[in-house]
Structure 1
Amino acid sequence: MNLIGTDRGINMKTISWASCLWLFLFLLLAIDSTCCNAASRPNLISIVTDDQGRWAMGLYGNKQIHTPYMDQIGKQGAVFTNAFVATPVCSPSRATFLSGRYPTELRITDYISPDEAREGAGLHAPIWPAVLQKAGYRTALIGKWHLGEQADFHPRKKGYDHFMGFLSGGTRPMDPILEIEGVTEKQTGPLPDLLVDNAIQFVRESKDRPFALCLHFRAPHTPYGPVPAEDSSHYEGIEIEMPIAEGLIPEQIKQKNKEYYASISSVDRNIGRLLKELDQLQLTENTLVIFTSDHGYNNGRHGISTKGNGHWLAGGITGPKRPNMWDTSIRVPLVMRWPRVIQPGTRFDEMVSNVDMFKFVLGALDLPLPENASLHGIDYSPLLFGKSIPERTAIYGQYDLHNNGLAYMRMIRTEKWKFVKHYRARYMDELYDLEADPDETRNLIRRRMPPGSKDKAAELEQQLIEWQKSIQDPILKPAYQ
């Protein structure tokens, strides 16, 4: 009996040790598998400049501007030829980019002024970085926020693990005041360099887990400089070539654009630094890099300064505002690189909008949309994987220049036509035949309209109103309600 008992004891111990060994190996493999799955999940870097028109980039045909690294992203991946924003000014455009909703829905229809920020204006809606954070991504915003300055709107409260930058609309291009590790103080050096220094540090610290980095520059917003000599030297002795509208002083406009180009080149050089870091860390292959701008720019085109709230320029004098939704103000560069997925030299001509970005990011990263999410736009990420998407016949936009009440504009744009409705203003509506007049120089809504133009304007206006109803656009309500 004792011998049998002893034999059984030995057998039980053997089984016990074997079970422990197998359990240990199983857990080790499970942990290793989890790590491998995490490591194989794609990283995301979203790079957004401030005020960069589509025309201000080499890959889109500008032969004078020096943007080799912005161009590299598109050459090594995909270039989108018809990318637009839902509004031509920074705060509402950035809010739409992050939330997938239109400005009037967010109650951010113009840039958030310092007074409005103090009064509590900011972005309440959920944003896609928070979804990525919940899915296990390490998230960061480095650079410009401009979506609220009170504590509830701080990026760390909105879905970012790390924030370094500035909450307001801007800071100095040289020796800026920045928030770093919760402390706001003056830094030394060019702003783009300081931002990318921090971005590189974040990537290094996050290389062993999936990360999502939003690198949002202030440049090339005014003031354009100073910038380092290595960036401005590209334009020394060069006369900038650009269309000069009637009444403008050519030398003044060309000098402004030379300074503007130098600011863009300062961003480009730093993008190159970040791309090289991805190479050195062997992260390039499985990192989706997106480069775009928050809206377009004019800088003399159409005879105005800046963007959708630009001023008339004439005889060297800055005149009144000319609110607008010309393509120069709403069309943006959009290039992407993801070597594991996108073939070099890919081109997409489909119309896309920054209101799509929420759905696009989650689709590209194979993450489900949040339940009961109220989102607009489309997921065009299947394009990256060689698949088709439903045909899109129109994109929409809006801009309320509420900071002085001058404009309440709504826009519908198809491949051939653009119609802009100016509410609370007479004789301002616009209709452009984009095939015959791609530069939007001839507004067809006038006393004697060309044959068919009146009917086309009415048709587009009806489509526009139906879209406005779908988002409960408050401008449709009578002003006295």
Structure 2
Amino acid sequence: MASMLALWLASVTIAAEQPNIVFVLTDDQAPWALGASGYDQAKTPNLDRLFSEGAHLTNAFVVTPVCSPSRAALMTGRYGTELGITEWLHPTKDAKKGLDPETICWPEVLAEHGYTNALIGKWHLGLLDKFHPTRMGFEHFFGFRAGGTRPKDPPLEKDGVVQKFEGLTTDILTDHAIEFLKENQKRPFLLSVHYRAPHRKWLPVADEDWAPFENMDPKIPNPDYPKLDVPKVKNATREYLASVRGVDRNLGRLLRTLDELELSDNTVVIFTSDHGYNMGHNGMWMKGNGHWILTDPPAGTTNVPKGQRPNMYDNSLRVPAAVRWPAKIKPGTVITETISNLDWYPTILAMAGVPVPKEAGARGHNFLPLLEGEVIPWDNDFYAEYSTSHQTRTDMRAYRTPEWKLIRDFNNAGRDELYDLKSDAAEAHNLIDSSDEKVKGVIDKLDQKIRTKMKEINDPVLSSTGSSSSASQ
């Protein structure tokens, strides 16, 4: 009896020490579309507050720059190739696909250690019941299983039933997130809020979110890019920033609720996105499955039709990321180390004092010591992958160091790219055909890094393309 009481007291003590976690994930959120990133035309006071009150991760990336495989990597700490999810899940073509429920997701691990978990918003990891979020560690789900929904008056699933809700989608999701906070404040909780915004379609938004941009002549990154459709870029920029503003306003509602409930001190608030976004950068827009935004796009090929621009640019791979935890993280902390979305798995479990299950196969690394101000060894190299299969057909693999980035397309000759990131952060000058011996050496080195990683994760693309070591053949 005494031993049972001791165990119970120990479990109560652990639960009391565990922080609450609010994980806010946006859709198509550009890292540049924040006041905290230096873009003064973004009106994001609440995001700026969050980024200043905790840690700003300036080099946060995702391993695949499109929805479903990025979200799968976030949930599992593994690459999409390992999970059989390498492209966004199409509602008809991929209706029977999803994240294997046998995969151990980090919300499951938290649930096993006393957390009450809710997912509010977008899932996009399978439509069938066997792929439901409640099979992956979430006790509560309110939102939509598919990749998108309307920005206003959306059909959403509540208590297992899809019904229509009236109002702006971002506001509705936040209403239910606040309801969860109020009802579950007595025990450790994970609240994941996966907004649809700022994914297109951007409008309508609330009048107060549109007002700052209605008459704005926005700055765009390279207005002199040949054949850039400048009016289209500027109009899209206005609408996009208004959608971001809607996210910001609702984030403010969440933060105020935490303050009002006196939960802020013991709550980790994480903000990030499933991938980045281009808006006229390099003549294109959207993410990894990008489109040219030119008045006359280049000619297409068999696998890449005219108008398409599949890519692995930093603007597609890089995401905004901030972590606020008053008990552990000093305000104004800036983390410059390269972080990937694989790293959230072990880091969040470390925050909760929970070990990573060995059988999970998670590949990320715990960066909590960095958040707490420790100086630890850290590998700033980064590997990414994306095999497109809907609009285009590519097998892109990338290896990035702080100085260089090599992108290979194993399915399309002539689409390899090399960028000197130190002198060309905008990735405007492809050096893949350079005759410089130093550059050739960089290509060979990074090509081997790519192949080694592909072999490590049993990437089927490697076995289908042979063993040649040339990145530009």
Give a deviation string over 1:40-99, Cα, whole Å, max 9, x none. Answer: 320111101000111111101110111111111110111011111101101000110110
The letter for the 2-side match of 1:238 is M
Match of 2:469 in 1: none
Is 1:91 aligned to residue 77 of structure 2? no
Match of 2:404 in 1: 417
Superposed displacement of residue 391, structure 1: 2.2
Superposed displacement of residue 117, structure 1: 3.8
Match of 2:421 in 1: 434
The 8 Å contact of residues 117 and 150 in structure 1, kept in 2 or not, is answered as no
Match of 1:12 in 2: none
The 8 Å contact of residues 66 and 274 in structure 2, kept in 1 or not, is answered as yes
Give a deviation string over 1:165-216, Cα, whole Å, max 9, x none. Answer: 0000011000001001111011000001100110011111110000001100
1:460 and 1:33, CA in 2 relative to 1: closer, same or farther beyond 3 A? Answer: closer
Match of 2:125 in 1: 147
Superposed displacement of residue 404, structure 1: 4.8
2:286 aligns to what SS in structure 1? coil
Higher mean displacement: 29-38 or 203-212: 29-38
The 8 Å contact of residues 337 and 380 in structure 2, kept in 1 or not, is answered as no
Select 2:256's aligned residue among 251, 264, 276: 276
The letter for the 1-side match of 2:400 is R
Select 2:27's aligned residue among 25, 50, 53: 50
Give a deviation string over 1:364-397, Cα, whole Å, max 9, x none. Answer: 2211111322111211111122223322041100
Is 1:376 aligned to residue 363 of structure 2? yes
Match of 2:438 in 1: 452
Match of 2:147 in 1: 169
Measure the CA separation in 2 of the matches of 1:86 and 1:290: 18
Measure the CA separation in 2 of the matches of 1:272 and 1:223: 23
Match of 2:292 in 1: 312
Measure the CA separation in 2 of the matches of 1:399 and 1:269: 33
Is 1:196 aligned to residue 182 of structure 2? no
Give a deviation string over 1:19-59, Cα, whole Å, max 9, x none. Answer: xxxx9xx97x9978755642332011110100011111110
Under a length normalisation based on structure 1, what TM-score does the superposition of the two structures give? 0.91
Q: Which has the larger radius of gyration?
A: 1
Select 1:266's aligned residue among 201, 223, 246: 246
Is 1:254 aligned to residue 237 of structure 2? no
Match of 1:65 in 2: 42
Select 1:222's aligned residue among 196, 200, 216: 200
1:429 and 1:30, CA in 2 relative to 1: closer, same or farther beyond 3 A? Answer: closer
Match of 2:471 in 1: none
1:211 and 1:316, CA in 2 relative to 1: closer, same or farther beyond 3 A? Answer: farther
The letter for the 2-side match of 1:267 is V
The letter for the 2-side match of 1:88 is P
Measure the CA separation in 1 of the matches of 2:10 and 2:451: 52
Select 1:468's aligned residue among 454, 458, 470: 454
1:462 aligns to what SS in structure 2? helix
The 8 Å contact of residues 100 and 355 in structure 1, kept in 2 or not, is answered as yes
Match of 1:114 in 2: 91
1:170 aligns to what SS in structure 2? coil
1:282-321 equivalences under 5 Å are 282-315=262-295, 319-321=306-308
The 8 Å contact of residues 95 and 123 in structure 1, kept in 2 or not, is answered as no
Measure the CA separation in 2 of the matches of 1:283 and 1:357: 22
Measure the CA separation in 2 of the matches of 1:123 and 1:111: 15
Higher mean displacement: 432-441 or 301-310: 301-310
Match of 1:363 in 2: 350
Select 2:337's aligned residue among 350, 354, 357: 350
Higher mean displacement: 429-438 or 231-240: 231-240
The 8 Å contact of residues 123 and 147 in structure 1, kept in 2 or not, is answered as no
1:75 aligns to what SS in structure 2? helix
Match of 2:58 in 1: 81
Question: How many residues get paired?
Answer: 455
1:279 and 1:478, CA in 2 relative to 1: closer, same or farther beyond 3 A? Answer: same
Superposed displacement of residue 479, structure 1: 5.7
Match of 2:137 in 1: 159
Measure the CA separation in 2 of the matches of 1:415 and 1:120: 36
Is 1:102 aligned to residue 79 of structure 2? yes
Superposed displacement of residue 405, structure 1: 5.1
What is the RMSD computed on CA atoms of the aligned residues? 2.0
Measure the CA separation in 2 of the matches of 1:216 and 1:349: 25
Higher mean displacement: 316-325 or 362-371: 316-325
Measure the CA separation in 1 of the matches of 2:370 and 2:187: 26
1:439 aligns to what SS in structure 2? coil
Superposed displacement of residue 320, structure 1: 2.3
Measure the CA separation in 2 of the matches of 1:30 and 1:282: 29
Identical columns (%): 43
Under a length normalisation based on structure 2, what TM-score does the superposition of the two structures give? 0.92
Measure the CA separation in 2 of the matches of 1:417 and 1:479: 24
1:66 aligns to what SS in structure 2? coil
1:181-192 equivalences under 5 Å are 181-192=159-170
Match of 1:5 in 2: none
2:464 aligns to what SS in structure 1? coil
Give a deviation string over 1:256-301, Cα, whole Å, max 9, x none. Answer: 1000000010011000000000001100001000000110101211
Higher mean displacement: 29-38 or 461-470: 29-38
1:295 aligns to what SS in structure 2? coil
Match of 1:13 in 2: none
Higher helix proportion (structure 1 or 2): 1
Structure 2, gaps ≥5 residues long: 299-305, 467-473
Match of 1:7 in 2: none
1:316 and 1:291, CA in 2 relative to 1: closer, same or farther beyond 3 A? Answer: farther
The 8 Å contact of residues 170 and 250 in structure 2, kept in 1 or not, is answered as yes
2:33 aligns to what SS in structure 1? coil
Match of 1:18 in 2: none
Select 2:214's aligned residue among 233, 236, 239: 236
The 8 Å contact of residues 197 and 244 in structure 2, kept in 1 or not, is answered as yes
2:187 aligns to what SS in structure 1? coil
Measure the CA separation in 2 of the matches of 1:478 and 1:127: 30
Measure the CA separation in 2 of the matches of 1:451 and 1:83: 31
